[in-house]
Amino acid sequence: MGLALLVMIWLITFISTYFFAAKTWWLPQGASTSAPGIDHQFAFTYLLMGIVFVAAQCALGYFVWKYRERGAGAVADYSHGNTKLEIVWTALTAILFIGLNLMGSPIWAAERFAPADAGALPVEVTGMQFAWYFRYAGPDGKFGATAPKLMDPSAGNESAIGLDTSDPAAKDDVVTGTMYLPVNRQVDLTLRAVDVIHSFFVPNMRFKQDAVPGLAIHMHFTPTAVGDYEIACAELCGLGHYKMHGMLKVVSAEDFEKWMAAREAEKQ
């Protein structure tokens, strides 16, 4: 029985660890300035936790086998513990966990404490059951007014977010269902939700933030590679949660300008 346990626990440990270490399923390809930092912290945490995982499981399997009851002869140690050891492992785990925490903190601070750069591209993201809409301010650089009573989800785009076309600032606002961003330029997001909570999740950008009704949440990231990236919703928002997806197209600065000019032309 002791041997069976040892084999089972060790096997579970090694097979589990193999798929982590071989990166068979790992974080998706990163494509933003935050990806390297987050990925590094992830890999480092994984390394440390992996060592503790393998050590603890192997010790467990080994001990139950090694100290199995064998005949009448052997006697268990009569010991109530060891205060010195207790202090040592308390201190070591405290250093390990708190150290890990402090190491990761600068990344969090850079992501979330600092406001967006002055030159960032403002984009408003609106979540509703079950679609994402993206609004660009247009040449005037100002988002026009929206009004709850104008919202008509079935009409899509401008009407879905309730854009008030009588507001001059709204005239040049572009609202789309696909998000276009120029590469290597920071995007200054404003996240909103009109009905329930949604969560704007772009795995390749290492970006996730809830969009909460009643709040306008400001957040930023910088895409670093041209390509198409899927957007998911990561907060349960109703029966269509699983299909509330969108597409982020990161393009060159010129392509972005061209795309934007075409959208403005459509509006005329």
Partner 1 sequence: MAAQDVHAHTAHAHAAPQGFVRKYVFSLDHKVIGLQYFFLALTAVFVGMILSLLMRIHLVWPGAAIPLIGEIKPETYLSLLTMHGTIMVFFVLTTAPQGGFGNYFLPIQIGAPDMAFPVLNMLSFWTTFVAFVVLICAFFVTGGAPLHGWTGYAPLSALTNTGPGEQLGADLWITSIAIFCVASLMGALNFITTTLDLRAKGMTMMRMPLTVWSWFITAILGLLAFGVLLSAGILLLLDRNLGTSFYIPLVVVNGQVMGHKGGSPLLWQHLFWFFGHPEVYIAILPGMGVASQLLSTFSRKPIFGYRAMVYAIMAIGFLGFMVWGHHMFMSGMSPYSAFAFSLMTMAIGVPSAIKTFNWLGTIHRGRVRFQTPMLFAIGFVSLFVSGGLSGPFLAQPTLDIPLHDTAFVVGHFHLIMGVAAIFGMFAATYYWFPKMFGRMMNERWGRIHFFITLVGAYSIFMPMHYLGMAGQPRRYSQFTELAYLHRLIPLNTFMTYAAIVTIAAQFIFVINLFWSMKKGPKASDNPWEATTLEWTTSTPPPHDNFGGMTPVVHHGPYEYSVPGAARDFIMQNDPATVTTSH
Q: Which residues pair with 219 in a beta bridge?
A: 189
The answer, yes or no, to whether the previous bond of 200 is cis (omega within 30 of 0) is no
75-104 binders of partner 1 (CB under 8 A): 75-83, 85-86, 89-90, 93-94, 97-98, 100-101, 104
Considering the complex, what minimum distance in angstroms separates the CB of residue 104 from partner 1? Answer: 4
**224 touching partner 1, by CB under 8 A:** no
Considering the complex, what minimum distance in angstroms separates the CB of residue 135 from partner 1? Answer: 16
Q: How far is CA 122 from the centre of its chain?
A: 20
**105 touching partner 1, by CB under 8 A:** yes
**129 touching partner 1, by CB under 8 A:** yes
**233 touching Cu ion, by CB under 5 A:** yes
Give per-residue burial for 178-214: e unless 16+ CB within 10 Å, then b: ebbbbbeebbbbbbbbbebebbbbbbbbbbebbbbee
C-alpha separations of 77 from 37, 67, 74, 81, 82 in Å: 48, 11, 10, 10, 13
138-157 binders of Cu ion (CB under 5 A): none
187-216 binders of Cu ion (CB under 5 A): 198
- Residue 185 CA to residue 31 CA, distance in Å, equals 12
Name the residue nearer to partner 1 (CB basis): 14 or 141.
14
- Residue 53 CA to residue 101 CA, distance in Å, equals 18
> Which tokens sit at 38?
């987050």
16-75 binders of partner 1 (CB under 8 A): 16, 19-20, 24-28, 34, 37-38, 41-42, 45-46, 49, 52-53, 56-57, 59-60, 63-64, 67-70, 74-75
**161 touching Cu ion, by CB under 5 A:** no
Name the residue nearer to Cu ion (CB basis): 63 or 242.
242
- Residue 27 CA to residue 191 CA, distance in Å, equals 24
3-state secondary structure of 52: helix
**248 touching partner 1, by CB under 8 A:** no
Considering the complex, what minimum distance in angstroms separates the CB of residue 188 from partner 1? Answer: 16
Which residue from 248, 152, 238 is spatially nearest to 200, judged by alpha carbons?
A: 248
Q: How far is CA 260 from the centre of its chain?
A: 28
Q: How many positions of this chain bind partner 1 (CB under 8 A)?
A: 103
> Which one of Cu ion, partner 1, none interacts with residue 173, CB within 5 to 8 A by kind?
none
Q: Which stretch binds Cu ion (CB under 5 A): 109-117, 149-157, 219-227, 228-236?
A: 228-236
Please pick, from the candidates 142, 171, 241, 249, the single residue that binds Cu ion as defined by CB under 5 A.
Answer: 241
**Stated length of the chain:** 268
User: Which residues of this protein are in contact with Cu ion, per CB under 5 A?
Assistant: 198, 233, 237, 241, 244
